[in-house]
Amino acid sequence: MSIYEEKQIGLLHSLQNANLTKFREAFLDLHPYDQASFFKELEKEEQELVFHFLAPEEIAELFEHLEMEDRDYQELFARLLPSYVADIFTHMSADDAADILNALNKEQAISYIALMSDEAASNVKALMDYEEDTAGSIMTLEYVSLYSHMTVSAAMSLLQMEAPNAETIYYIYVVDELKALVGVVSLRNLIISDDNTLIADIMNDSVYSVSVSQTREDAARKMRDYDFLALPVVDFQERLLGIITIDDIVDVLEEEASDDYSKFAAVSNMDYVDQHPFSAAKKRLPWLIILLFLGMFTASLIGRFEETLSKVSILAVFIPLIAGMAGNTGTQALAVAVRGIATGDLEKESKLKLIIREAGTGLITGGVCGILVTFVIYIWKGNIYLGLLVGASILGTLIVATIAGSIIPIVMNKLKIDPAVASGPFITTLNDIISILIYFGMATMFMRFLTS
């Protein structure tokens, strides 16, 4: 048993026995993430005891690391006094409080904001006004900024006063009299500089920022590319509005990866393990119904070649092989294109170059697989024409599938549609249709060689 598990057992024992002093001492000694993990595992009655044992400011840090579904937040807060909940939000970082308040229904959120302190409520409302997917929605307002005309001595005095409430002080951003961002200075440079040195003389005026209206993914890419721990957020006049810290970007990357993975699986939102079957089914059904009709269309295509199948029934044996190869190849090309769009790498190279490269890949892989399957079928069935038909069909379908897998997400991205919705099942079904047309089309054309 690990030390953490032992602490959990001791905490639970103290909580259940209403040992206030012992519980508070052990609980507040934990990292906020561990506090949140412990809290999530408790029963409802035990969670209510935690609220009785801790003050709102002590609970606030726990909630900054707590990840729950929207309905769970709503149910949890409904069991507490509104004033207590409002105090929790008052003591939280404005960006974290805004995230949770956005998860509540509008009436709940408004009632809590009305009970918060004026400053905290103002900061939270400012963040909630930004669109969900923008840099402004994830920035924090708890930062320290300096004026370029300040001395190092004055800057250090200001830093000592404001640092306790700041999200990070490793980078301190410098503004002019109009609050426009003009530079950045590191904590290290402040410490080693003389007291009378002007900030303008030690700051780096080559400062990177992100617009408040840009997407969260834009901010994440910039922080990744330049290895930043924080990134300033500015308005259209370059005025400093807030900063985005690395912990917020990690959350964005995790959320985007989860979202893209769920779309690749043809699920509108990733299902949670504790989700009700009806809710999970409601999210999955739209995609499944679309895929069902596409599958029926595939079946009707095969029906159109019934005469071909009746004459050469052996053709049916290779339908799963042709369709499976096309689906797998298309999904591989799709993954490459979607990843390039998501990381921004595709913006740095020609889209036509990507399509040509994928077509070349399809030609090579199709050629190798086609030659291989031709010989295998000839040895197996003793029919070189059947082998050539299947081999040529694989060559054609792999070329078309790779081109389709690379073009579809590019077109979707151009139309402002998330390319991840060109999910694996979707591209697989689409390539099934293409492969069937190629396979049976060629079989019909060269029927006399197959029946001779």
Q: Tell me the H-state helices in 17-144.
A: 20-27, 32-40, 44-53, 56-63, 70-78, 82-91, 94-103, 106-115, 118-128
pLDDT (average), residues 10-18: 83
Q: Which residue has the higher pLDDT, 185 or 18?
A: 185
pLDDT digits (tens, 9 = 90+) for 37-78: 889 888 888 888 889 899 999 999 889 888 888 888 888 898
Q: List b or e across 433-445, with b for residues whose CB sees 16 or more CB atoms inside 10 angstroms.
A: bbbbbbbbebbee
Least confident interval from 201-215, 302-316, 413-427: 413-427
Q: Quote the CA–CA distance of 96 and 114 in Å, as a whole number.
A: 17
Q: What is the pLDDT of residue 208?
A: 92
Q: Tell me the H-state helices in 117-178.
A: 118-128, 152-162
Q: Quote the CA–CA distance of 406 and 356 in Å, as a whole number.
A: 10
Of 245, 287, 309, the residue nearest 427 (C-alpha): 287
**Cα 266-268-272 angle, rounded to 5 deg:** 100
The strand pair at 210-211 and 230-234 is best described as: parallel
Q: What is the pLDDT of residue 203?
A: 94
pLDDT bin (cut points 50, 70, 90) of residue 419 is: low
Q: In order of start, what are the domains of the chain with their CATH numbers?
A: 3-130 (1.25.60.10), 145-246 (3.10.580.10), 277-451 (1.10.357.20)
Q: Which residue has the higher pLDDT, 334 or 117?
A: 117
Instruction: Give the phi and the psi of residue 427 in degrees, each rounded to 5.
Output: -70, -30
Q: What is the pLDDT of residue 437?
A: 87
Q: Is the pLDDT of residue 433 over 50?
A: yes
Instruction: Work out the number of other CB atoms within 10 angstroms of the CB of residue 426.
Output: 21
The pLDDT > 90 percentage for the chain reads 28
pLDDT bin (cut points 50, 70, 90) of residue 405 is: confident
Q: Is the pLDDT of residue 36 over 80?
A: yes
Q: Is the pLDDT of residue 325 over 50?
A: yes
pLDDT bin (cut points 50, 70, 90) of residue 271 is: very low
Among left, alpha and beta (phi > 0; psi -120 to 50; other), residue 344 is left
Least confident interval from 177-186, 194-203, 206-215, 277-286: 277-286
Instruction: Work out the number of other CB atoms within 10 angstroms of the CB of residue 13.
Output: 13
pLDDT (average), residues 250-254: 77
3-class SS at 33? helix
Q: What is the pLDDT of residue 262?
A: 56
pLDDT bin (cut points 50, 70, 90) of residue 365 is: very high
- Which of the 8 DSSP states describes residue 140? B
pLDDT (average), residues 419-447: 77
Q: List b or e across 132-145, with b for residues whose CB sees 16 or more CB atoms inside 10 angstroms.
A: eebbbbbbbbbbbb
pLDDT bin (cut points 50, 70, 90) of residue 89 is: very high
Q: How far is CA 237 from CA 18, 133, 210, 212, 295, in A?
A: 56, 21, 12, 11, 53
Q: What is the pLDDT of residue 244?
A: 92
Mean pLDDT for all residues in the chain: 84
Least confident interval from 91-95, 330-334, 365-369: 330-334
pLDDT bin (cut points 50, 70, 90) of residue 264 is: low
Q: What is the pLDDT of residue 266?
A: 52
pLDDT (average), residues 91-117: 90
Q: What is the pLDDT of residue 179?
A: 92
